[in-house]
Amino acid sequence: QVQLVESGGGLVQPGGSLRLSCAVSGFSFTIASVGWYRQAPGKQRELVAGITMGGSRNYADSLKGRFTISRDNAQNTVYLQMNSLKAEDTAVYYCNARTNQGDYWGKGTLVTVSP
């Protein structure tokens, strides 16, 4: 069974850091890339960062320098390190796997940045 399970969200103060994890399992076909997206209240879902199976990374321009995507192949996990968090980073963060059988999504993890 294909699963993407996010964890690591929570409440953090402005300027703080969080690391999100996406555990990937159950794929018997090719994953081209894994990405993090976010959706803030009243806004559309947007790409945060992505990493291909070849290791290439891409980021939303507005987040470069604060967010870092990485992966641990042995653990089948993709991480999103978020630093210098701002109130506008508050959103539900989703993990996405882009495969040759289509896109798969996790259920999301909530990140709230507030004093």
Left, alpha or beta for 10 (phi > 0: left; psi -120 to 50: alpha)? left
Q: Could you tell me where the DSSP H helices lie in the chain?
A: none
57-99: per-residue pLDDT in tens? Answer: 999 999 989 999 999 988 899 999 999 999 999 999 999 999 9
Residues, the chain: 115
Q: Where is pLDDT greater, at 29 or 3?
A: 3
Q: Which residues, listed in sequence order, are joined to residue 93 by a DSSP beta bridge?
A: 38, 109
Q: Where is pLDDT greater, at 84 or 100?
A: 84
Give the pLDDT score at 73. Answer: 85
The fraction of the chain above a pLDDT of 90, given in percent, is: 83
Give the pLDDT score at 29. Answer: 73
CB 82 within 8 A of CB 66: yes
The closest of 18, 87, 48, 27 to 5, measured between CA atoms, is 27
